[in-house]
Structure 1
Amino acid sequence: MKLGKQEAIKSLLVMIAFTLVVTVFSPLITEKASAAETTQTEEEFYKEQLRENPNFSKELATTRVALGNPAKQGDVTSQGVVGATLKAIKKLSPMLRHGGTALSWALKPFSKKTAVVVKRNSRKAANAIDRLDKGTKKALEDALVAAGVPRSDAKTIVYWIFMII
């Protein structure tokens, strides 16, 4: 089977886009698996540290005072489904920034309109994702619009991002 120059380039770009997607999402999968394997409760950890270091409770109290005990200040962290979604969206940022053209080639067989939209707005989308603080469709769409992406293009990009995730 002899491939023409265009077909060879297309298949190479699809392979690169697939590799980027796998590279972005494989740490998320392995992180979840390793976290599930090594689950240790806070109480078990505390008891283990006390056995190894008799001054652990004093050092812990000193450290909490020095840090102002951030656990009791009401700091909000991303957890659960929304936190995982936000992390997954943030992992797409480098792929959009550096591989927008390759990603558009990968999306072209599914939707030519989407491929054109992604290629045209990939850098703006990457900048918007970097500033994102919520992992919801509405927050992502608003961030894209604030970055200069037209609302219709933003809806298309949001649809495909959540389709990938």
Structure 2
Amino acid sequence: MPFSKLGDWADPAGRIRVLPGPEYGRLEEPRLVFNNSWRTTQFINKMGMRLAGEFRLKYGPEGMISEAVADGTVQLTPEGPIVLLRHRQTTGGYPRIFNVISADVDLLGQYGTCQNIRFVQVTPDQAREFARRKEKALEQLAGLAAAAGGKD
């Protein structure tokens, strides 16, 4: 289904919305992340998806200790960026450059290998609003299914 048909909670251009992560300040040129398309690689499973693309850090992960990660955390490993998905580990030891907003995490599961992904930065208030809109859309869908005789 095209992103434009998902409702007012999804980005109509199909971009994945993100918030800066704790180590976002380590990116050498943050604007390049948002000006470029990234490609999914063949390394996709229920734990995460590796992206092809170059993210440069001002300084590396040396001295980092393992920290908590969440669904949608984008970690920058020596092999490239990984977007963590629903069955991810709970900690990671690489820079967490940004986090996909909760409204968009499930959209990542719709990507296959060798597909382009574009990121766009949003504010925390926008992220909360998109989550609220998605929840409302899902409630409406559940209501339609129930009215049609489907089960909750």
Q: TM-score range by the shorter chain?
A: under 0.3
TM-score scaled by length of structure 1 = 0.20
The structure that is helix-richer by fraction is 1
The structure that is strand-richer by fraction is 2
Say which one has the larger Rg: 1
Q: Which has the higher contact order (CA 8 A, sep 6+)?
A: 2
TM-score scaled by length of structure 2 = 0.21
